[in-house]
A and B are shown apart, each in its own frame.
Chain A
Amino acid sequence: MAITSSKDTAISFGFLSPFLLFFGVFLIFPIFYSFYLSFFGSPTDYSLANLDFVGLANYFRIATDMQFWWSLGVTALYGLMSIPLGISASLALALLLDNKLFGKSFFRSAFFLPNVLDMLVVGVIWTLIYAPKFGALAQITTWLFSDDNFFNTTGLLGSPMTALLAVVIAMVLKGAGFGMVLFLAALQNIPEAVYEAADIDGATEWQKFKHITVPLLRPIITFMVITGVIGSLNAFTEIYAMTSGGPQVVIGGETVGSTSVAGYYLFKQFDAGNYGYAAAISYMLLIITLGITWLQQRFLNREDGKEVRK
């Protein structure tokens, strides 16, 4: 099978063509098409036909658009909260489950289950749990303390200080099972002999965790950081379902949404019919993503000496 003939090539191409067709049309072409669209203005009537050519105006607008830069900041904050919290929660669950246990597969499935459920629905349920006055959290805190507690009057989603954290908590609880399974698989690959050797040398539990477990879990942590970054840039549904970008705060004369992440801001612009501007924003986000990916490739992978996705 080593000799490449034109017939082989034709057959290979035949097998690959349905995939390549959709790949080219819907994944490669849009990268260029988006760039093209970013030079056009926004129709006043939501029509797609009569877009005016505006040159670089959209990009100039981005440079001075406080809302956009704010949303990037919120996205960064979202990532900075959800990635470490997500990794810690998954690792904690994995360490708990990495024992000989009766009913281990039950616990594993139970923690994993929320992962497969629809993000929007989970977001809606959590909104109602957090809701002041009638939410589950408000009811429990009212019973424990009094009517006049924060969860009952404002609710976690009602205050700009806590809204983003509340979204993060809901999403960490939804997603923890995924990381847990990854960590669990890696933990079970660590040979018992390594720990025994450390025991002989008189290592404490903490030392064993820090110097054996964590380094061996590094590829998984790298993977979770990469997917976490992409997840933060993609974050939309959870924000749409839980806060709609709010609650609003006024900073320096500009009203901004305290949970308005970049993905949500992009959707807002798109929804308002600012198609050209939305295309320009997606291009900016694409460039930022590529920059972050490049940084990650350089720093995270050099430390491990191996690629996670390979």
Chain B
Amino acid sequence: MSSDNANILEHHDRHTVKAQRVALFIILVGIMISLSYVISNQLFKFAVMAFSAYVTPESEKAVAEAGQLMQSMTVVYNGLAVVLTIVLTIFVVRKFLATEHVNRMAFIRRMTLYLALTIGVVVVLFPFFWMLCTAFKPSGQELVISKTNPFDIVPSEPTLDNFRRVLKVDAASKSMASVDAIEQKKNFGTYFLNSLLVATTAAFLVTFFAAMGAYVFSKKQLPYKQQIFMLLLATMMIPGMMFMVPQFFMVCKMGLFGTKWAMFLPHLASVFGIFMLKQFMDTIPDSLLEAAQIDGASEWQVFTVVIVPLALPIIMTLFLLTFLFHWSNFLWQLIVTNFENPLSITLPVGLALFRGQYTSELGLIMSASCFSIVPIAVLFLFAQRYFIAGMTQGAVKE
């Protein structure tokens, strides 16, 4: 009798547990469907929107025309989002049904994990998506939002006007071009090229000097080598802000204020770079260098033929990281910029200047921001291995 009772209780328990699991699963699928639909819909809509804005020629009615084009493609992006969501749902439900009962809790836990990660990605990347969308909104329309759905942030009537205006290739700027050549040069195309030039030159020089220096610290003899190395490491602890005043004075006294040289000259000695490259070069066996020397290689050849090719991945990493540093080195570039000379204005400085002029024109500010964000994001996509490896180098070495 008592054992029967226990059996019934157990049976009953198992039933409620099963029901709970299914209920949990249904809730999760609900969240997944809404997330999947909103995200894919917005991404497809964005692609359609960018395409419509791009193919519509510049004219008075361009905004309306692009809007109509988008309207005609509503089915495409909504349809794609629906199809994708349905496929995903079927896939997940089938997988759940195929999972044995004992493993279903683990399945639900994994699904929660994926949903949490997806929400995390949305939160982290939302600002940049919002930037891209706002950049396509016509002037004065940035504040208009869809009353029914604030998550629909892709504009329905896109335009490229903001990009034309920050590049000063729109009609109003063109007519002004003959009047004021300097003012005309103050556009984000110029700033972009300036930043590119400064960051590339600096990255090249820094990497070159650091590679030669690291070679000495790793493989060569030098009196007081250890002491010098410790001195280098000690300076890494000093916040860069402390160097602002003296370096500014030095640059000005050298007569470099407002030139591109001033933008990177004080930052050519990278202690971090020496440290990173030395760590790597320490792993290159000495016997390789000796073999090269026996073969009659000169000191310079040992460096260029043996060391540099072997350390190339880490050298690439340093190059990219230095490039990035100078691409975003706002404070220093701000204080040595001569605002009269458009050839010395770099992207971050240009953006700060621009924001002061067009405080309320969100679309303009956002399209200007794209010039800094989009190239780096694309570069990151292709070279992320180098970025991630390099940025974590100093820390994980124990």
Contact = CB atoms under 8 A, between A and B. Distances in A.
B380 A30 contact: no
B215 A15 contact: yes
Nearest to B116: A96
B391 interface: yes
Interface string A217-249: 001100100000010011011001100000000
Interface in B208-227: 208-210, 212-213, 215-216, 220-223
Interface stretch (A62-70, A117-125, A207-215): A117-125
A134 B142 contact: yes
B142 A30 contact: no
Nearest to A186: B396
A34 B242 contact: yes
A270 B376 CA distance: 31
B86 interface: no
A136 B380 CA distance: 26
Please classify how large the interface on chain B is, using the bins under 10, 10 to 19, 20 to 34, 35 or more: 35 or more
B239 interface: yes
Given A266-B244, A270-B244, A120 B362 contact: no
Contact of B331 (A11, A18, A142, A267): A267
Nearest to B143: A134
A165 to B, nearest CB: 16
Contact of B269 (A27, A139, A233, A270): A27
Contacts of B248: 270
Interface stretch (B14-22, B177-185, B348-356): B348-356
Interface stretch (A154-162, A170-178, A192-200, A252-260): A170-178
A185 B392 contact: yes
Contacts of A181: 388, 391-392
A23 B234 CA distance: 12
A97 B121 CA distance: 12
Given A16-B213, A128-B365, A107 B242 contact: no
A53 interface: no
A19 B212 contact: yes
Contact of B328 (A22, A118, A125, A267): A118
B241 interface: yes
A101 B394 CA distance: 27
Interface in B367-398: 369, 372-373, 376-377, 380-381, 384, 387-388, 391-392, 394-398
B232 interface: yes
Contacts of A122: 127
A182 B237 contact: no
Nearest to A231: B239
A4 B223 contact: yes
Contacts of B235: 23, 27-28
Contacts of B377: 113, 116-117
B35 to A, nearest CB: 14
Interface in B109-167: 110, 113-114, 116-117, 120-121, 123-128, 130-131, 134, 142-143, 145, 147, 150-151, 153
A279 interface: yes
Contact of A23 (B249, B269, B327, B335): B269
Given A27-B269, A128-B365, A275-B245, A11 B299 contact: yes
Nearest to B360: A134
Interface string B241-260: 11111111110110000000
A181 B393 CA distance: 11
Interface in B161-220: 208-210, 212-213, 215-216, 220
Given A125-B130, A236-B331, A219 B398 contact: yes
A269 to B, nearest CB: 9
A101 B113 contact: yes
Contacts of B143: 133-134
B63 interface: no
Contacts of A121: 348, 351, 369, 372-373
Contacts, number: 265
A9 interface: yes
B10 interface: no
A19 B269 contact: yes
B64 interface: no
B290 interface: yes
Contact of A99 (B113, B238, B253, B290): B113
A302 interface: no
A201 B376 CA distance: 49
Contacts of A11: 220, 299
Contact of B128 (A4, A108, A114): A114
A237 B253 contact: no
A234 B212 contact: no
Nearest to A284: B242
B311 interface: no
B113 A120 contact: no
Contacts of A114: 124-125, 127-128
Interface in A88-113: 93, 96-97, 99, 101, 107-113
Contact of B237 (A107, A275, A289): A289
A283 B372 CA distance: 33
B199 to A, nearest CB: 11
A272 interface: no
Contacts of B81: none
Nearest to B214: A19
Contacts of A1: 221, 286, 289-290
A278 interface: yes
A133 B143 CA distance: 8
Interface of A: 1, 4, 8-9, 11-13, 15-16, 18-20, 22-23, 25-31, 33-34, 37, 48, 93, 96-97, 99, 101, 107-122, 124-126, 128-129, 133-134, 136, 139-140, 142-143, 173, 176-178, 181-182, 185-186, 219-220, 223, 230, 233-234, 236-237, 240-241, 263, 266-267, 270-271, 275, 278-279, 282-283, 285-286, 289-290, 293, 306, 308-310
Nearest first, the 4 A-B pairs at minimum CB distance are A30-B246, A19-B213, A22-B269, A23-B269
Given A223-B395, A236-B331, 17 more contacts: A12-B221, A15-B216, A19-B212, A19-B269, A26-B250, A99-B110, A114-B124, A117-B373, A118-B372, A121-B373, A125-B130, A128-B362, A219-B398, A236-B241, A282-B244, A286-B239, A308-B398
21 contacts: A1-B221, A1-B289, A11-B220, A11-B299, A16-B213, A26-B269, A34-B246, A96-B117, A101-B114, A101-B117, A107-B117, A108-B388, A118-B376, A173-B123, A233-B241, A236-B241, A237-B330, A240-B352, A270-B248, A285-B239, A285-B242
